[in-house]
Amino acid sequence: MDIAALKADLAGIKVEDNPAIVQQKSRDFYWYSPVLKAQLEHVTADLVVSPKTESELISVLKACYRLGIPVTPRGTGTGNYGQAMPLSGGVVLSLADMNEIRVIAPGRVVTGPGAVISEIDKAARAHSAQELRIHPSTYHTASIGGFIAGGSGGVGSINWGGLRDFGNIIRLRVVTMEEEPRILELTGEDLHKVTHAYGTNGIISEVEMPLTAAYDWVDVIVGFDTFMDAARYGNALGLQDGLLTKLISPIAAPAPFTYFKRHQKFFRDGQSICLVTVAPHSLDAFLAFTRRWGAEIVFNAVTETDLKGLPPNFELSWNHTTLRALRVDPAITYLQVLYPFPHQIERIEKIHALIGDEMIGHLEFVRFDGNVTCFGLPMIRYTTEERLEEIIRLHEENGCPIFNPHRYTLEEGGMKQTDEIQLAFKREADPKGLLNPGKMIAWENPAYDYKSGKLFLFKGLQQAG
Ligand SMILES: Cc1cc2nc3c(=O)[nH]c(=O)nc-3n(C[C@H](O)[C@H](O)[C@H](O)COP(=O)(O)OP(=O)(O)OC[C@H]3O[C@@H](n4cnc5c(N)ncnc54)[C@H](O)[C@@H]3O)c2cc1C
């Protein structure tokens, strides 16, 4: 790789070649997985390039194309699967400086890809009491472009479903990786070409997202004697048509008392909980519903007098639950599970009984294809890779599909099949295969058999040392 020639080509554009900083910007939250930690620890780029405008971005892509240098896009690097890690070195393309908020109008916002999600909400609230429909629990750090290219859903998904659902992204502007990069405006069906494609087939240079009404959301935590009580309550709450909630997250003991240190005084040891975030105008009705369940309110942000130092509920939810567990017990890892409607409750009960204390339950209720069901992000007391594989197999044999967070490829972390639309778009938009190499199996090894059960090993993965 002729990095010197690249630097000369990029005169005037911000680059960083200090090896310590380059290595830091070559990482994401891959270390949540002991498997990925071992595989990817050594991965680093040669250069970080940070365009400020779309025309600078085009110059970078053009130069890298000419010199055959791989380019791995990065928002703010909060992804979990080594998504933003440059497996074959080359350039990490930081989009963080393309963060302008350009248009806020009724029902929509237009921004650069690097805009931080909470900054978008801050601007939309100030402008017209609006906010994004869905955000990851990394609200305060993640970029909107990274969320679209690498995330799936999160806080708000109980009302709006996920990013894959029609209508949750309005438009994306995408730059291709060709001799003369093209700028494409994607809407409707075409959005699927690049959403959740890890930046393997185009660089998002502008996003247009739908907005909804913003409220002063209220955090409440409900306590239960057992995890299954919390799960049944969460399911019933999700089905309440008249209550507006933004988060419903049952979490099993011992996690709340042991891992949520700042909230510990609100919990009993051995208590399971359900985190709820509810609109202020729904609060009284929500409390009445909860009373009917005979459930105990252990925390209510409206009546609590001292909120100082307490994180919001969403920073206890989704993958923040795992983060807090990891801070206390570094041997914890996690899985991502779908409990398909309408059998979610019986499957949760069955799989947790089967695996026992080795797995600590954590659910996130969502709308999924129009029904209310839940994902699981259970915490696992990690022992060996073989046992982790066994736990995954037990889930799948019991009708609970796993989105494996211990793999760096799109397919192994997703539906274990080729996404023909994304593959076809890569052929068109990245003919030399320079964008985020190693992440799309269908491109690297079309003959790979997803049913083989074998780990995909990317031949271009940088050698350690
Ligand atoms: C504690 C914690 C909690 C989390 N909670 C959630 C959650 O609730 N929901 C959820 O969906 N995810 C969650 N995540 C994962 C991650 O934080 C989000 O998906 C986040 O939105 C990613 O944004 P980012 O800017 O950090 O992206 P990055 O990690 O920088 O990038 C993510 C992927 O997108 C690609 N990419 C980035 N920018 C572009 C671009 N402009 N064009 C093309 N490709 C691009 C990268 O190459 C990479 O493959 C969580 C992670 C952690 C560590």
Ligand 1 neighbours by CB, cut-off 6 Å: 28-29, 72-80, 83-84, 95, 113, 136-138, 142-143, 145-147, 149-154, 198-199, 203-204, 318-320, 323, 436
| Protein residue with its CA nearest to atom 11 in ligand 1 | 151
Q: Rounded to an integer, what distance in angstroms lies between the CA atom of residue 283 and that of residue 286?
A: 5
Ligand 1: which residue has its CA nearest to atom 16? 79
Q: Is the pLDDT of residue 261 over 70?
A: yes
Residue keyed to tokens 């709006």:
160
3-state SS class at 242: coil
Q: Which residue has the tokens 């909804």?
A: 212
Which atom in ligand 1 lies closest to the alpha carbon of residue 194? 43
Exposed / middle / buried, residue 167 (Cβ in 10 Å: 0-12, 13-18, 19+): exposed
| Structure-token pair, residue 399 | 């009708």
Topology classification of domain 3-94: 3.30.43
Tell me: the pLDDT tens digits for 61-83? 999 999 999 999 999 999 999 99
| Confidence band for 464, pLDDT divided at 50, 70 and 90 | low
Give the mutation target among 36, 94, 138 for probing the ligand 1 site: most ligand atoms within 8 A of CB: 138
**Domain-by-domain residue ranges, the chain?**
3-94, 101-214+425-444, 218-403
Residue 167: predicted pLDDT: 98
Tell me the CA distances in angstroms from 269 to 146, 225, 259, 265, 362, one per residue in order.
37, 10, 11, 10, 17
Q: What average pLDDT is seen over the chain?
A: 97
Query: Pocket of ligand 1, candidates 48, 147, 208, 248: which has the most ligand atoms within 8 Å of its Cβ, to mutate?
Result: 147
Ligand 1 centroid – CA 142 distance (Å): 6
The three-state secondary structure class of 105 is strand
Q: Mean pLDDT over residues 83-103, rounded?
A: 98
Q: 77 alpha carbon to ligand 1 midpoint, in Å?
A: 6
**CA 113 to ligand 1: nearest atom:** 41
CA–CA distance, 197 with 156 (Å, rounded to integer): 22
Which of ligand 1's atoms lies nearest the C-alpha of 72? 47
Q: Is the pTM of this model over 0.75?
A: yes
Give residue 76 CA to ligand 1 midpoint distance, Å: 7
Fold exhibited by the domain 101-214+425-444: 3.30.465
H helix runs in 134-221, sequence order: 144-150, 157-160
The answer to whether 3-94 and 218-403 have equal CATH topology is no
The answer to whether 186 and 396 are in contact (CB under 8 A) is: no
Angle between helices 344-355 and 385-397 (to 10 degrees): 150
Residues 6+ apart with CB under 8 A from 161: 153, 168, 366, 367, 368, 369
Q: Find the 153 Cα to ligand 1 centroid distance in Å.
A: 11
**Has residue 50 got a pLDDT over 50?**
yes
Query: pLDDT tens digits, residue range 185-209?
Result: 999 999 999 999 999 999 999 999 9
The pair of structure tokens assigned to 123 is 């601007």
Q: How far is the CA of 117 from the centre of ligand 1 (A)?
A: 11
Closest residue to atom 50 of ligand 1, CA basis: 319
Residue 11 has pLDDT above 70, yes or no: yes
Pocket test for ligand 1, best of 53, 78, 120 (most atoms within 8 A of CB): 78
Q: Which atom of ligand 1 is nearest to the CA of 154?
A: 8
218-403: what CATH class? alpha beta
